[in-house]
A and B are shown apart, each in its own frame.
Chain A
Amino acid sequence: MYEIVEKREEVPNIHRLIIREPNVAKKAKPGQFVILMPDEKGERIPMSIVETKKDTFTIFMLELGITTGKIANMHAGEQLYAVAGPLGRPAEIEYYGTVLLGGGCYGIGAIYPLAKALKAKGNRIVTIIEARSKYLIYLEEKLRAVSDEFYIATSDGSRGTNGHVQTVLDRLIKNGHRFDHAKFIGCTYMMMNCSNITAPYRIPTRVALNTIMLDGSGMCGCCRVSVGGKIKFACVDGPEFDGHQVDWAELMKRKAAYQEAEMISYQTSPHICRALIESYFGESDE
C-alpha cells in the first residue's frame, strides 16, 4: 500500500498528488512514469512523475474515467493499492540550443521536470502551455521560473493567445524564431497537431505517448504504437518517440478500444465520495 501524502484539485479535473514511495523517489529520472491502481479492481493508469523529494514523488492526474475518478475521490492519508515505477526510458536531456516545450492538460505538469532538466543543461527554454480556458491553467509560476520565454494559449481566448500550442508555435516560427528541439506532452490530438507544425521545419520533435497500459514492462503489448512503420511499446521503448514518425490515426483508434467497457463500468461502480458513503451508514436516517 502506498500513502497519498498530499492531494489537491489544482484546477477542475487536474489533481496534484504526492505519494510516498522511496524507491520511485530515489530512482526516477525526468520523463519517466509510474502506473497506479487505486484498488485491486482499478485499471492501471500510467502517470508522469513531475517532481521527487526524499521519499515522495508528485504527479498531476487528469480525472478522465472511472479509475482516475476513484483516485480523485480519495483523500490525503489514504492508501493506493499499487504503484509501479519508475517505468519507461528517461527523456533525452542534452544540450540542443533553443528547446521548445509544449504542454496541455496533465502535460502542463509533465513538461515541468523536462524544462528543469533541459534548463540545467544550459538550453534556452521556450514554453507554451494550452488550456480550454483561463481557469484551467496551473503550475504557471514554476514553469515561468525555468523558461526563458513563456506563452499561454486558451481555446476560448480568455487568457493569452486565442488558440492552442500550435497556434502560438506557428506564429513564433513564422516570426523567425528558431528551435533546435521540441518536446510535447498533452492529449494525443494536441501532440499530433504540434508535430504536424514542426515537421515541415525539420525541428526534431519528441512526444510522450499516453497509451493504454497494463503491466508497463513490455509483456502485454497493450501500449503498442507504430513509429516509423515499426511496432514499439510505449512502456519500455517510450514513452518518448519521434513525433514525426508516430502513426497518429492508429494510436487514436487504439486508445478508443475500451469505450464500451468504460461507459458500462459507470453503471455498476458507485462513484460516490467514499467519505459520504461512510457518513450515510455511520448515522441513521431521520
Chain B
Amino acid sequence: MLVIDGKKVPFVEGKTILEIARENNIHIPTLCAHERLPSFGACRLCMIKVHGVPGFMNACTTPAKDGMVITTNNLEIKKLRRAIFELILSEHPSSCMICAQAEHCDKFNSGIMKAGVITGCNTCPNKDMCEVRAIAEELNFKTIRFPIFYKELPIERNDPFFDRDYNLCIHCGRCVRVCQQVEGAHILVFTKRGHDTKIGTSFEKPHIETDCKFCGQCIDVCPTGALSARGQKWYQEPDDRVRTTCMLCNKGCRFEMDVKWGRIVAVRPDPDYKTLKTGICVKGRFCLPTFFNAVDRIRFPRFLQNFKLYPTNWDEIGSHVAELLEAYPPSKIALYLTNFLTDESDYVFRKFAEMMEITNIYTTVEDLTQIPKKGIKVLWTTEGLPGLKNYKTLEHLIFQEVFPSEGYELADVVLPAAAFTEQFGTYYTQRGPMPIQKVVKAPDLALEDWKIVCKIAQELDLGGLNYLDVDEIEQEMGRVNYKQMVRPVDEYYLKYRGTPIAEKVPDFKILLEYRKNRAKPW
C-alpha cells in the first residue's frame, strides 16, 4: 500500500512512483516519460516529495516501495516545478505561449503559419498536440523571468520525409530512446556535451547516409515540434482518426490515420496495438498519404470510343462490360487478380469466374505467358501489367486499377477501384486475418473491387452476387469454408497494384535511388 496525496493506492513491485500514480489517475506532469520507453529522468518536471526522504525525487525514476507516503503537489513542489519549466521555456521558442494576444490571435488569425523555422506556436506544426504547450497551460505561464535564449541551430531539411528544427528540442531524449531501445537502430544519439548537447546522428550525417529506416518513431514520440514529417503537418486538428491495417505488404501492420478535408493527412503506428513492438515501415509511415492523394488517381469509369477513353457512369460501363464478356466464350476470357485485393473482393471475383465458367485466373506475371497458348482475347486485369502489348491475341483489356499504371494505354475499358484505405474488408496477413477499415471516401466514382464485380454481374443477370456489404460476403465465405492465403508480397515490395510507390512519392524515389547499392533500402 502507498499513500499518494492522501489517497491509498495498491503497491506494485517493480513499478515506479509515476507508473503507480498514473494507474490510479493521479496526474504528475512530465515531458520525458513515455509509456513505451524506459525511464530517463531528463525533464525533472515530475519532482515529488517522499516523506522521510530529504529533498525531492523524480517520480519517473524512483521505484515505488511499500508504505511510501508521497506528495505530488504542494507550494514548494509547485515553485520548483515552475522554475524548472521556466528554464526549459527560456530555451524553447515560446513567445506565443506567453503572448498577451495569444487567445485573440488564435481566434482571428487565418490558420497556422507554415514557416520554415519555428519561432513560436503559431509557426509550429505541433501546436495542437504539443506537450510543452499543454504544461504551460497547466502551470498557467504568463511570463519568463530568465533571459530568452535562441540556439540559432540551422534547420535540417536535407533528408527525405522529415524536417528537424533542434532549436525547439528540450533534450527529453524520447527520440534517442525510441531509436535505440525500441527500434534497436541506434541512429539518433546525444551529440556534444553540456550546454551544447544536441540530438543528432553520429558525425551529424544526414539520416539518408546512416542506416536510418525512416520508421518515423522519433517524430511520434517527440513532445515538441522539433521533429516533424514534412508532408504530414500543418493540418492542425484532424477531423477524424481511423485505425486500419496496412495492405502494402503481407505483414499486417496496424496504423492510425489522421483525416482532414476528406483526405489522409498523417499516419502513425496504432498506439493500442500491443503486438507491434517496432514502428511501421517507411512505405506506411511516410508514403501512404502522398500516394493515395496523388492527383492522377483513376476517378471515373471510361470506355474507348474514337481512340479516346471517354468518362461515363457505372450503369453505362456495366452494360458495356457485360456485352463485351457475353460476346466471347469463357475460355477466351482471363482474369488477373492482384495480390492487393481484400479477401472479400478476391472471393467475389473467384465466385464470379466460377459462375461465368472462366477458368483462366492469373495471379502472377508469369501466368500471362498462357495468353498466346490459350488464345485469350479478353483480359480483365486488376493491376497494371508489364508487356501486355506483346500479346497480339488480346482484343480487349478491362483495366480495373487505382492509378493509370502499365498497360493503361492499351485499355478499352477502365474501371476506377478504391484504394485499401477507402473500403471495409479483411486482409489475410502473416498475423492472420486483419480488419481493413474505411478511412476516407474513394475519389469520385471509384468503387470497391467487389462492388464493381457485383455491378457487372447484375448486368449479366447472374444471381447470388448481390451483396449489401462486406459482412454479408464474409458470412458467405464462412459458410462455404473459403480459405484465403497469405499473398506473396513481402516488406520490400515497391508497388501497390501496378504502380511503383516511388513514382508518386518523390521523397521515396530519392531514398531508393540514394541507397540503390544497399541490399535493403531501409
Contacts and interface: CB of A to CB of B under 8 A. Distances in A.
Interface string B157-172: 1111001000000000
B481 interface: no
Interface in B93-130: 93-96, 98-101, 105, 108-111, 113-117, 119-120, 123
Nearest to B101: A164
A285 B510 contact: no
A157 interface: yes
B148 A156 contact: yes
Contact of B230 (A63, A266, A286): A266
Contact of A155 (B99, B110, B160, B230): B99
A65 interface: yes
A163 B104 CA distance: 13
B506 interface: yes
Contacts of B293: 264, 267-268
Contacts of A259: 110-111
A120 interface: no
A1 interface: no
B94 to A, nearest CB: 7
B391 interface: no
B92 to A, nearest CB: 11
Contacts of A268: 231, 290, 293-294, 504-506
A231 to B, nearest CB: 19
B514 interface: yes
B349 interface: no
Interface string A251-286: 011011001101110111111110011001100111
Nearest to B97: A156
A156 B98 contact: yes
B513 interface: yes
B96 A13 contact: no
A273 B206 CA distance: 12
A100 B519 CA distance: 65
B233 interface: yes
Contact of A266 (B96, B234, B505): B234
Interface residues of B, number: 60
Given A135-B150, A264-B263, A273 B95 contact: no
Contacts of B265: 263-264
B95 A132 contact: yes
Contacts of B152: 135
Contact of B108 (A69, A72, A252, A270): A252
B422 to A, nearest CB: 17
B110 to A, nearest CB: 4
B449 interface: no
The residue among A69, A270, A281 with the most chain B CB atoms within 10 A of its own CB is: A270
A79 interface: no
Contacts of B111: 256, 259
Given A132-B120, A263-B235, A63 B150 contact: no
B116 A13 contact: yes
B143 interface: yes
Contacts of A285: 209, 514-518
A269 B506 contact: yes
Contacts of A65: 114
Nearest to A133: B95
Interface string A82-104: 00000000000000000000000
B519 to A, nearest CB: 11
Interface SS of chain B = loop
Contacts of A187: 109
Contacts of A132: 93, 95-96, 99, 119-120
Contacts of A267: 231-232, 289-290, 293
Interface string B491-512: 0000000000000111100100
Contacts of B517: 284-286
Interface in B199-245: 206, 208-209, 230-235
A268 B230 CA distance: 10
A200 interface: no
B99 A64 contact: no
A45 interface: no
A61 to B, nearest CB: 11
B157 A281 contact: no
Nearest to B89: A156
A270 B506 contact: yes
Contacts of B307: none
Contacts of B513: 280-281
A12 B230 contact: no
Given A268-B294, A277-B510, A133 B108 contact: no
Of the listed residues A62, A163, A248, A271, the one surrounded by the most CB atoms of chain B closer than 10 A to its CB is: A271
A263 B109 CA distance: 17
B110 A253 contact: yes
A12 B518 contact: no
B506 A12 contact: no
A175 B113 CA distance: 35
A263 B234 CA distance: 6
Contact of A63 (B117, B289, B505): B117
B114 A262 contact: yes
A192 interface: yes
Contacts of B108: 189, 192, 248-249, 252
B116 A136 contact: no
B144 interface: yes
A122 to B, nearest CB: 35
Given A272-B510, A276-B158, A134 B148 contact: yes
Interface of B: 93-96, 98-101, 105, 108-111, 113-117, 119-120, 123, 143-144, 147-148, 150, 152, 157-160, 163, 206, 208-209, 230-235, 260-261, 263, 265, 289-290, 293-294, 504-507, 510, 513-518
Given A69-B116, A133-B148, 9 more contacts: A72-B116, A133-B120, A188-B110, A260-B263, A262-B114, A263-B235, A266-B234, A280-B208, A286-B518
6 closest A-B pairs by beta carbon, nearest first, are A256-B110, A12-B117, A267-B231, A132-B95, A156-B95, A63-B116
